[in-house]
Amino acid sequence: MTLEEIRALVHSDLRSVDQVIRARLKSAVPLVDQIAEHIISGGGKRLRPLLVVLAGRACGHRPHAHIEAAAFIEFIHTATLLHDDVVDGSSLRRGRDTANQVFGNQASVLVGDFVYSRAFQMMASLTSQPVMEIMADATNVIAEGEVMQLMNAHDPETTEQRYLEVIYRKTAKLFEAGAEVAAVLAASPEEVRKALAAYGRHLGTAYQLVDDVLDYRSNPAERGKNLGDDLAEGKPTLPLIYALRNGTAEQRAAIRVAIEKGGLAQLEPIIAAIESTGGLEYAARLAKESAEQALLSLKPLPESPYKEGLAALARFAVEHTT
């Protein structure tokens, strides 16, 4: 099943989510509207809203509540991107100039705050204490993950465990929260709620591992990001960590310098080191294992086309790693 076929299962829901996103991002402050329009027009796969509405349908959903939830999950993601691009000094996302590149760092940070707070206004309107607790915990964990990543930057001693903790917090936690919120809003049994939370966690892990592989193996025009962005920022992602652990003395020395200094001066030899040590294959294998765990997590859900869509989404997350 292709991503387009998965989306077709919930086409009307996704259209409603887009309408809600546009309506809720409206502001009386013109600059907020300008940056919001820049974000919306930037596109993206919208995997997180897709996950929420698929999970909601798979549980027997409340349409309005799940559409609102899908929108505020996307808002939390959007706010983190606005802040991340400032922290990382990024200039390109999804093949377009980032908001901070166009409007400046100050405006991007402040509008990121607006998007965060609007998301919590939407959560509050659902009057569900469990949803508020899940999302409050998730945003706190995400913020801690951002700080942990900052601590790991330019540190060649970063371990695989530290890296995995960061990607859980920065990426997988929001997938986990979105899937669990969908179950809560459908008043699903505890077994289904836990199963969907696990599914989201494993899916998010697989998705981030794949993204880290593609940082060294992709067409920038297709991916919308520059090759080697993580290396340029001194981020020791799993392919680098693996190569540092398994490379020759010369390769390890080059990788350590690249992590410590950042930049792309040694991009080609670093990619060669990662490829020769099997770093990309190792990260891709872990991604596929995470996707398999996501599939196993779906067992307690009743059979439906939407459950099949969730399974297809897990497979889609890892199909472009080789």
* Residues 248-261: tens digit of each pLDDT: 999 999 999 989 99
Residue 297 burial (C-beta neighbours within 10 Å; 0-12, 13-18, 19+): buried
The count of other CB atoms within 10 Å of the CB of residue 299 is 10
Please check the confidence at residue 322 and state whether its pLDDT lies above 60: no
Residue 32 tokens read as 């907020």
317 near 288, Cβ under 8 Å?
no
Taking only the tens place, the pLDDT of each residue in 163-212 is 999 999 999 999 999 999 999 999 999 999 999 999 999 999 999 999 99
| Predicted pLDDT at 219 | 58
> Which superfamily does 3-318 belong to?
Farnesyl Diphosphate Synthase (1.10.600.10)
Reply yes or no on whether the pLDDT at 26 is more than 50. yes
CB 181 within 8 A of CB 52: yes
CA atoms of 313 and 303, how far apart (whole Å)? 16
Here the tokens at position 206 are 């697989």
Written as six digits, the tokens of 188 are 């699903």
| pLDDT at res. 63 | 75
Contact assessment for residue 201 and residue 168, using Cβ atoms and an 8 Å cutoff: yes
Check: CB of residue 27 under 8 Å from CB of residue 114.
Answer: yes
Q: Which of 170, 96, 99, 100 is nearest to 140 (CA)?
A: 170
Q: Using CA of residue 278, residue 241, residue 262, residue 39, what is the dihedral sign?
A: positive
The structure tokens listed for 56 are 């909601």
What value does the mean pLDDT take over residues 91-116?
89
What pLDDT is recorded for position 230?
Answer: 84
Q: What is the pTM of this model?
A: 0.93
Q: What is the dihedral of CA 88, 93, 95, 100, to 10 degrees?
A: -80
Region of poorest pLDDT, from 21-30, 36-45, 133-142, 197-206: 36-45
Orientation angle between helical segments 190-214 and 160-167, nearest 10 degrees: 120
pLDDT band at 95 (very low <50, low <70, confident <90, very high): confident
Rounded to whole angstroms, the Cα distance separating 160 from 33 reads 41
H or E stretch covering 93:
strand 92-93
> What is the number of alpha carbons within 13 Å of residue 233 lying toward its C-beta?
21
The CA-atom distances, in angstroms, between 308 and each of 55, 64, 221 are 11, 23, 31
